[in-house]
Amino acid sequence: MSLDESQINSIETTIKALQAIGDPLTPGLRKLFPDISFVRCSATDMDAQPFRTSDKYQLYLMDRSEACIRLTDRLECADGVIVAEVELA
């Protein structure tokens, strides 16, 4: 299964809603999008160009089609999302 633009938009809307009410991101995303893999980390853990950014998070696309997970910038290859939270000073 690959991701599409409308799914990414829905994921972003959900992230904003979960952050606004203080709910944990990963369980909420997994519940609403059970067919998509999610990983949460700190933005400081990532050393690549994000697919999407906001002031509170960065989104990276995962491709799990082979033995190892790799980052991709192509929605048609992506089947998971890394949510890297930006820590505010």
Structure tokens, 26: 């990963």
Predicted local distance difference test score (pLDDT) of residue 38: 95
Q: Do residues 59 and 51 lie in contact, with contact meaning Cβ atoms separated by under 8 Å?
A: yes
Q: What pLDDT, in 10s, does the model give residues 11-65? A: 999 999 998 898 888 899 999 999 999 999 999 999 999 999 999 999 999 998 8
Residue 88 has pLDDT above 80, yes or no: no
- Residues in Cβ contact with 87 at an 8 Å cutoff, skipping those fewer than 6 apart: 42, 43, 44
Kindly list the distances between the CA atom of residue 65 and the CA atoms of 1, 68, 72, 77, in Å, as whole numbers in the listed order. 10, 8, 11, 8
Residue 89 has pLDDT above 80, yes or no: no
Predicted local distance difference test score (pLDDT) of residue 2: 84
Neighbours of 15 (CB within 10 A): 21
